[in-house]
Amino acid sequence: PAEFRFSTHEVFIERQGDAIILRPKPESWDDFFSRPSKVPTDFLSDRNDVPPETRELF
C-alpha cells in the first residue's frame, strides 16, 4: 500500500519471530552509524578467549 512506501530504492529485511520488518537502507555510512545499535554494551564481554595453538612450520 502507498502509505507504507519508503522514499528509497533499497530496504533492509529482518525477521523477528513470525514478523517481517522492513527498514529503509541508510543513504550513507553516517546515516547507518547514527542509528541506534541493537548490540548490547556487554556483548562478548564474558567470552573466554583461548590462546592460539602452537603449530609446526612447514
Q: Are 39 and 56 in contact (CB under 8 A)?
A: no
Q: In the predicted model, is pLDDT for residue 27 greater than 80? A: no
Average pLDDT for 16-45: 80
Reduced to 3 DSSP states, what percent helix, strand and coil does the chain have, rounded to the nearest 5? Answer: 15, 20, 65
Mean pLDDT over the full length of the chain: 83
Average pLDDT for 24-36: 77
Q: So where are the chain's domains?
A: 2-34
The fraction of the chain above a pLDDT of 90, given in percent, is 19
H or E element that contains 13? strand 11-16
Q: Are 38 and 21 in contact (CB under 8 A)?
A: no
pTM for this entry: 0.44
pLDDT confidence bin for 5, thresholds 50/70/90: confident
